[in-house]
Amino acid sequence: MNGTFNLLGMTLAQLQELCVNEGFPRFTAKQLCDWLYKKRVDSIDAMTNLSKVQRARLNEIATIGREHPVRCQVSKDGTKKYLFPVLDGHFIEAVFIPDDGRATLCVSCQVGCKMGCRFCVTGKQGFHGNLSAGDILNQLFSIPEFEQLTNVVFMGMGEPMDNLDAILAATQVLTADWGLGWSPKRITVSTVGVIPGLKRFLAESPCHLAVSLHNPVPQERMAMMPVQKAFPLNQVLALLREYDWSGQRRLSFEYTMFRGENDDLAHAQKLVDMLKGLDCRVNLIRFHESPEAPFKTSLPSVIADFQNYLNRHGVICTLRASRGQDIDAACGLLAGKE
Ligand code: SF4
């Protein structure tokens, strides 16, 4: 019989509590972590150093929570987009991006999104629910490329700061010695700037942060990103300036280039002024046109001028390579449609 909750995604503290409640010895929690996160078994019966009685009880109350992807689309550039079933009848996507010596998985954290950014296909779907820490980790654990992964970015469907408990639990599993033991430097969490979540993230997580900026002019940003109304960029930047970025943790800003909207040198200059003195970098992203979004891609020469302007004026600026465009795996195109 299948149990009612998933073990995948539970932290050591949560598993210890479970063991105490079930009358299991406390060290069983550590054994569970080993099976879940080091050996990555997909059945409770495979946990052979647990007693038969313990396994039977766990099978009554829980399952591992592993779900295989139901579809994989492969781009001509090697990028792969996986579709996973979650929450009654919904689907989410994760994108595997191999790149010279690196292999990054871009994971989703919500089904749809509440933020409604006008250039984003996910935002158009509305919001259908939060993923659990287990749903998030399953995107890594259940793809054949798990062993190759060097990095994870929380830049798929959803706004991480709007589902922060699950993000913090998932990143704890990824980084703790009882979990996967990854360096936090391998993990980047993105946000459009939801301040309450961001404050907590800065205090409680050591992972890298990427802020989706996209436009330095408040009125223009508000027209693209409704979150600007509730959490204006100047308040987000004030919060980021209070934080000490001199350690290992990195701050970056994502800036998607929209033709005639935010790609001229006047915007570049405002961006430079806005970021002055902040230890950060800017990642420019080529916009991928979609019939569902009323924006066009900037011309390559315009993007190059913008990038050069930033670099000349002391802001480290890179252009992110476009990946997986032919399978709709690029930024802002994840729809989770079966
Ligand atoms: Fe949500 Fe990110 Fe899309 Fe904005 S860009 S609607 S925050 S998924």
What would the pLDDT profile of 258-316 be if each residue is shown by its tens digit? Answer: 999 999 999 999 999 999 999 999 999 999 888 888 899 999 999 999 999 999 999 99
Specify the pLDDT at position 294: 87
pLDDT digits over 61-101, tens only? 999 999 999 999 999 999 999 999 997 789 999 999 999 89
223 with 294, same domain: the answer is yes
Q: For 210-230, what is each residue's pLDDT tens digit?
A: 999 999 999 999 999 999 999
pLDDT band at 1 (very low <50, low <70, confident <90, very high): very low
Residue 25 forms part of a structural domain:
yes
- Name the pLDDT band for 3 (thresholds 50, 70, 90): low
Atom of ligand 1 nearest to the CA of 155: 2
The predicted-structure confidence for 125-146, as pLDDT tens digits, reads as follows 899 999 999 999 999 999 999 9
Distance from the alpha carbon of residue 112 to the mean position of ligand 1, in angstroms: 8
157 lines ligand 1 (CB under 6 A): yes
Compute φ and ψ for 281, nearest 5 degrees: -135, 160
**How many structural domains compose the chain?**
2
- Do 57 and 183 fall within a single domain? no
Domain boundary among 45, 63, 81: 63
| pLDDT for res 54 | 97
Would you call 331 a catalytic residue per the annotation? yes
- Determine whether the shortest distance from the Cβ of 83 to ligand 1 is under 6 A: no
- Is residue 192 in contact with ligand 1, taking CB distance under 6 Å? yes
**123 and 262 inside one domain:** yes
pLDDT grade for 2, boundaries at 50, 70 and 90:
low
Q: How far is the CA of 120 from the centre of ligand 1 (A)?
A: 6
Domain range for 32: 5-63
Active-site residue, 93 included: yes
Claim to verify: residue 13 and residue 110 sit in the same structural domain? no
> How far does residue 160's CA lie from ligand 1's centre (Å)?
10
